[in-house]
Amino acid sequence: MRKICRVLLSGLSVLCLAACSHPSQPIQGVIITGQNNHNWPVSSEAIRLTLEQSGLFAMDVAVSPAAGEDMAGFQVDFSRYELVVLDYNGDPWPEPMQRAFEEYVNGGGGLIIYHAADNAFPEWKFYNQVIALGGWGGRNEAAGPYRYWQDGALVRDTTAGPGGSHGKRSPYLLNLRRGKEHPIMQGLPEHWMHAKDELYDRMRGPGEIGDLLLTGYADPDRGGSGREEPLVFTVQYGSARIFHTMLGHAGTSLEDNPAMQCAGFQTLLLRAGEWCARGCVTQDVPADFPDAEAVSLRPAYREPEQQF
């Protein structure tokens, strides 16, 4: 599938479209969660609802022991899954779990890095390659360059400074960059309003961004960096399909959760899930996708029934 879809990028789209069919069986995936400086019971359930209610995915949820408890027995059988969603920011995984994760990624697995998962594991070299950019956890210039978008290019800034910060939460505009032809972005508008969320800035890391899909302007009036920050991208790492979204700060409940209720956030999650697992995307642009003027929310974590 991957070979055929690469042909798409060189122009022979018919071949890829013919090979890309709606999954006849739900994609088997797992959400890894259980420790986070965020409300992980809300975020993991919002992710599960979004993915499963589409009918495209069947998700397990792997919950770690609580912070400070014995992690030795925490193990996920990655061989059972086509898609792994990381919603974890906490104590180091035990060695066998780390090795199994490395094997999964090195074997070409599908992986979504969600929001504060890129705060996790500042000392784990492999992990930091795989997420490409991370923040907090003591990260600074030693963690890698600060990447931001300027004058049509991704800057690689090695100046000393902290890695990871964000200003006050608000709705903000997302801007399509190099990923216009990426299957995840097919047909989506070049600019659209994301619902009230954090905007991660000054993120640093040693990894390679594959396709930079979306950036957002970190407005200094709200405490941001004043730069156009890479917020959604794929990561270049071997044959793995890796999607990193810094969007989606979890709210206090499923009802009070605008960043994850955003129809744009959910569309990206659904399309990325399919692409990470299968290498192509069969989903149309939903009717409720936000435009550049107004946010669009899905409080039930599903596309509303279309009204005619």
DSSP line for 240-298:
-EEEEE------SSSSS-HHHHBHHHHHHHHHHHHHHHHSS--PPPPTT---SS---B-
Tell the smallest beta-carbon distance from residue 124 to Zn ion (Å): 20
Tell the smallest beta-carbon distance from residue 161 to Zn ion (Å): 20
CA distances from residue 282 to 136, 168, 211, 238, 275 in whole angstroms, order as listed: 36, 36, 19, 24, 9
* Residue span binding Zn ion (CB under 5 A) among the ranges 7-15, 171-179, 195-203, 293-301: 195-203
Find the binding residues for Zn ion in span 69-108 (CB under 5 A): none
Calpha distance 50→300 (Å, rounded) = 9
Calpha distance 88→107 (Å, rounded) = 21
Is residue 177 involved in binding Zn ion (CB under 5 A)?
Answer: no
Number of residues that bind Zn ion (CB under 5 A): 2
Pick 239 or 253: Cβ nearer Zn ion: 253
* Residue span binding Zn ion (CB under 5 A) among the ranges 25-33, 133-141, 187-195, 244-252: 244-252
Q: Position 158: which residue type?
A: T
Tell the smallest beta-carbon distance from residue 259 to Zn ion (Å): 8
Pick 115 or 278: Cβ nearer Zn ion: 115
Calpha distance 269→224 (Å, rounded) = 25
Pick 249 or 271: Cβ nearer Zn ion: 249
Residue closest to 84 by CA, chosen among 297, 282, 93? 93
Pick 182 or 249: Cβ nearer Zn ion: 249
Pick 198 or 229: Cβ nearer Zn ion: 198
Calpha distance 62→280 (Å, rounded) = 26
Cα 11 to the center of its chain, rounded Å:
27
* Residue span binding Zn ion (CB under 5 A) among the ranges 19-27, 46-54, 138-146, 249-257: 249-257
Find the binding residues for Zn ion in span 196-225 (CB under 5 A): 198
Q: Which residue number has the CB closest to Zn ion? A: 249
Among 48, 182, 249, 278, binds Zn ion (CB under 5 A): 249
Answer for the pair 150, 156: CB distance below 8 angstroms, yes or no: no
Pick 40 or 237: Cβ nearer Zn ion: 40
Pick 268 or 277: Cβ nearer Zn ion: 268
Tell the smallest beta-carbon distance from residue 14 to Zn ion (Å): 42
Pick 82 or 201: Cβ nearer Zn ion: 201
Tell the smallest beta-carbon distance from residue 119 to Zn ion (Å): 9
* Residue span binding Zn ion (CB under 5 A) among the ranges 49-57, 80-88, 134-142, 242-250: 242-250
Calpha distance 156→145 (Å, rounded) = 6
Instruction: Report the interhelical angle of 263-278 vs 40-52 (nearest 10°).
Output: 70
Answer for the pair 231, 245: CB distance below 8 angstroms, yes or no: yes
* Residue span binding Zn ion (CB under 5 A) among the ranges 45-53, 87-95, 140-148, 190-198: 190-198
Query: Which residues lie near Zn ion (CB under 5 A)?
Result: 198, 249
